[in-house]
Structure 1
Amino acid sequence: MEVPKDKQDFARWVACCVDAKHFYAFFYEPSARDMVIIEIARECPQLDRLIGEHRCREFFKNSSKQEQDQVTKVFLLHL
């Protein structure tokens, strides 16, 4: 997330999982490298597509060898 393209790719990935109109923002803190907080509208009907485990090799066609085994886990937090 230190490179602007990485932030853009992440935002595009989220927008592909849910309708972009329900995707408000994401927050990344370099000191918590393995965590990103995303803000999605409560009325988003595609939340079930986002929640759960996602394997990078299934989402990124040109993933590097290192990325092939990476997994993203998305949890729901109601505030």
Structure 2
Amino acid sequence: MQIGAITYSFRSMPGGIEQILKYIVNSGVSAVELMGDAVETYAGKPAKADKNQLAEWRASVGMDKFREVKKCSIKPE
């Protein structure tokens, strides 16, 4: 059976994307959708952007940082 979650579900947990991925791995979730502030912050989201600036950033940001997260190899503790 495959159990999934979105990173947004872990938004109240402390830490960046690496720590959030550790929480996910340790909880036994086998699939994750990268969504929310943690992954966008890791990808370089502007800290103080209004909704128009954020939309522009999302339309133009490259996928390299998202691919890095995908390749992350965190082992359960």
On whether the aligned pair clears a TM of 0.5, the verdict is: no
Higher RCO, 1 vs 2 (CA within 8 Å, ≥6 residues apart): 2
Using the size of structure 1 for normalisation, the TM-score is 0.31
Larger Rg: 2
More helix by share: 2
Using the size of structure 2 for normalisation, the TM-score is 0.32
More strand by share: 1
